[in-house]
């Protein structure tokens, strides 16, 4: 079964051939590019569902390639980095990469990461919401139970889990997939501290019932810090008096209790 198109942007021939072979075996049509400029044009032409992108390219670096791709495509991007490229990895996530793998990596890990990305965006199964956050169906689908949308509300913040849109005081927020998933998880767990490891699994799409949660590294947890920082910026948080995302030092993050409405 054809899973769609993947573009592999990698200058190392051995790594490029490995990634191409692994993804073709997984049912993808794969197109490879050896330089950043070639990769950008290939993504523009092929409109892939996934791009694997090496940071160290011979012409323009991976960060610039990612920036150019994000100007016209919202495809999933997995960065391939060296073991000592933590700063580069975090910069790439900040710029809009969806995931990363450090070299050398195992083929099954690459397949698993791509599989996780393709399960997103995903609609959650409606569940009872904690106190302080409400959910309700809305729009044309509200009349059909099987098509109910789950809307999460927390003060002036509103998330539509089906349409994957977020609004703050009626202004739509431009969130990456990872940012949306993190905010949705925090809104579904109001009053509960979510550890950085918990949030790593959320971004990866690994659920407790799966029983297959992977190892969480320091870089994974740093990546969560980057995503939370991006969310705070987009929510226009006051660093001295945050209204939405609270840091629990040494543990993780939780959503602030909603402020009582003025009469």
| Cα gap 50→69, rounded to integer Å | 12
- Please check the confidence at residue 138 and state whether its pLDDT lies above 50: no
What is the DSSP code string of 138-169? Answer: -SGGGG-GGGPPPEEEETTEEEETTTTEEEET
Report the topology of domain 139-255.
Answer: Arc Repressor Mutant, subunit A (1.10.10)
Tokens for 97?
């990469």
- Mean residue pLDDT of the chain comes to 81
Per-residue pLDDT tens digits for 222-242: 889 888 988 998 998 887 778
What would you measure as the largest C-alpha separation in the chain, in angstroms? 66
Report the topology of domain 5-118.
Answer: Rossmann fold (3.40.50)
Higher-pLDDT residue of 40 and 56 is 40
- Please check the confidence at residue 213 and state whether its pLDDT lies above 80: no
Which H/E stretch holds residue 245? Answer: strand 245-248
Q: Where does the pLDDT of residue 252 fall: very low under 50, low under 70, confident under 90, or very high at 90 and above?
A: very high
Higher-pLDDT residue of 228 and 143 is 228
pTM beyond 0.85:
no
Q: Where are the domains of the chain?
A: 5-118, 139-255
| Cα gap 227→93, rounded to integer Å | 8
Per-residue pLDDT tens digits for 162-183: 888 999 988 999 888 888 999 9
């Amino acid at each position: 079964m054809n899973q769609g198109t993947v573009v592999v942007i990698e200058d190392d021939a051995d790594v490029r051939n490995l990634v191409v072979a692994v993804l073709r075996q997984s049912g993808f049509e794969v197109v490879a590019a050896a330089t950043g400029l070639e990769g950008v044009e290939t993504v523009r032409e092929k409109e892939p569902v996934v791009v694997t992108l090496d940071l160290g390219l011979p012409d323009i670096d991976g960060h610039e390639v990612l920036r150019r791709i994000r100007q016209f495509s919202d495809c999933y991007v997995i960065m391939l980095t060296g073991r000592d490229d933590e700063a580069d990895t975090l910069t790439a996530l900040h710029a809009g990469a969806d995931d990363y793998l450090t070299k050398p990596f195992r083929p099954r890990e690459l397949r698993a990461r791509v599989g996780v990305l393709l399960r997103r965006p995903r609609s959650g199964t409606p569940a009872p919401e904690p106190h302080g956050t409400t959910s309700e169906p809305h729009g044309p689908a509200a009349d059909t139970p099987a098509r109910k949308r789950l809307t999460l509300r927390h003060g002036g913040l509103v998330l539509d889990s089906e349409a994957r849109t977020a609004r703050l005081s009626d202004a739509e927020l431009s969130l990456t997939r990872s940012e949306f998933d993190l905010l949705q998880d925090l809104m579904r767990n109001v009053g509960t501290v979510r550890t950085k490891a918990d949030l790593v699994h959320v971004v990866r799409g690994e659920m407790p019932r799966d029983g297959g949660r992977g190892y969480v590294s320091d870089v994974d947890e740093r990546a969560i810090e980057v995503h939370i920082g991006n969310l705070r910026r987009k929510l226009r948080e006051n660093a001295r008096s945050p209204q939405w995302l609270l840091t629990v030092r040494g543990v993780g993050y939780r959503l602030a209790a909603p402020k009582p409405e003025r009469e």
